Amino acid sequence: MQSTTAQQLVTQLQHLGITDDRVLAAIANVPRQYFVDEAIAHQAWENTALPIGFGQTISQPYIVALMTEELIRHSPQSVLEVGTGSGYQTAVLAQLIPHVFSVERIKSLQYQARRRLQRLDFHNVAMRHGDGWAGWKSKAPFDAIIVTAAAETIPASLLDQLADGGRMIIPVGEQNQELLLIEKIGNRTRKEVLGAVRFVPLIPGELI
Ligand code: SAH
């Protein structure tokens, strides 16, 4: 059996409604096989989530594309990503947004992601081992925030660190999760539900 290629994945994403050519090109340009274990590398271009160890997953390419498409509508100059994981979503963002900041609570995943991005020559990414629930205060405000793990509630610290006019994409909920798009307009926020999703939980506090 032949494995799915980058072009086939792009075609699938187009059929699912992804229209932004910049996003499709960014996805086609990231060798997803580098972000998973060699044993499952043949599945890397499939439109599915895959395990990355520690009970975590690299997100489904369609979800990565959807979140990225919504996030870059206002041409953000900076983005905070909470939940680096494999660094795959980070690599997609790094091609579209000038300054990328990414926080991960599992040291070993953070270390591997950093090495992958260095190897692929992405130099506009700053990474940190830390609790993303608290954001990254010294680098705030961010024009965009993307959370790649499901939060029980919207973390107030992340809303604080979002720039005026900025956009945050975050899955919220436990069993039934919704992907929310939150826009900050002065002291107000506008919320839109983008759809039902299934992410691993965002775990506040303790690091490993
Ligand atoms: N975007 C990732 C998806 C990773 S899964 C990718 O493309 O591979 C979600 C990640 O969020 C996991 O690696 C998990 O360890 C991390 N995470 C969960 N709670 C966190 C927290 N409070 N702070 C930072 N990272 C967290």
Residues, the chain, total? Answer: 208
State if residue 58 touches ligand 1 by the CB under 6 angstroms criterion.
yes
CA–CA gap between residue 10 and residue 23 (Å, rounded):
10
Single pTM value for the model:
0.97
Separation of CA 126 from chain center: 14
Q: Which two tokens stand for residue 27?
A: 């996805």
Residue 1 covered by a domain: no
Distance 199 CA to ligand 1 centre (A): 9
Report how many domains make up the chain. 1
Strand partners, 195: 179
Q: Which two tokens stand for residue 90?
A: 């980070």
Which active-site residues does the annotation give?
59
* Predicted confidence (pLDDT) per residue in 6-37, tens digit: 999 999 999 999 999 999 999 999 999 999 99
Write the CA distances from 39 to 14, 36, 52, 106, 167, integer angstroms: 28, 8, 11, 22, 37
Residue 10 covered by a domain: no
Per-residue pLDDT at 70 = 97
Mean pLDDT of 123-136: 97
The share of the chain scoring above pLDDT 90, in percent, equals 95
Per-residue pLDDT at 99 = 98
Residue 39 covered by a domain: no
Q: Which two tokens stand for residue 148?
A: 């790649």
* Predicted confidence (pLDDT) per residue in 38-89, tens digit: 999 999 999 999 999 999 999 999 999 999 999 999 999 999 999 999 999 9
CA–CA gap between residue 101 and residue 112 (Å, rounded):
16
Q: Specify the 3-state DSSP secondary structure of 157.
A: helix
- Expressed as residue numbers, the domain containing 72 is 49-197
* Predicted confidence (pLDDT) per residue in 82-105, tens digit: 999 999 999 999 999 999 999 999
State if residue 82 touches ligand 1 by the CB under 6 angstroms criterion.
yes
Does 2 score more than 60 pLDDT? no
Residue 116 covered by a domain: yes
Which has the closest alpha carbon to 130: 83, 90, 79?
A: 83
Residue 41 covered by a domain: no
Per-residue pLDDT at 205 = 87
Per-residue pLDDT at 4 = 77
Residue 191 covered by a domain: yes
Residue 43 covered by a domain: no
The residue contributing the CA closest to ligand 1 atom 14 is 83
Per-residue pLDDT at 3 = 65
Listing DSSP states for 15-34 in one string gives HTT---HHHHHHHHHS-GGG
Distance 21 CA to ligand 1 centre (A): 27
Per-residue pLDDT at 180 = 98
Does 119 score more than 70 pLDDT? yes
State if residue 155 touches ligand 1 by the CB under 6 angstroms criterion.
no
The enclosing domain of 159 has a CATH number of 3.40.50.150
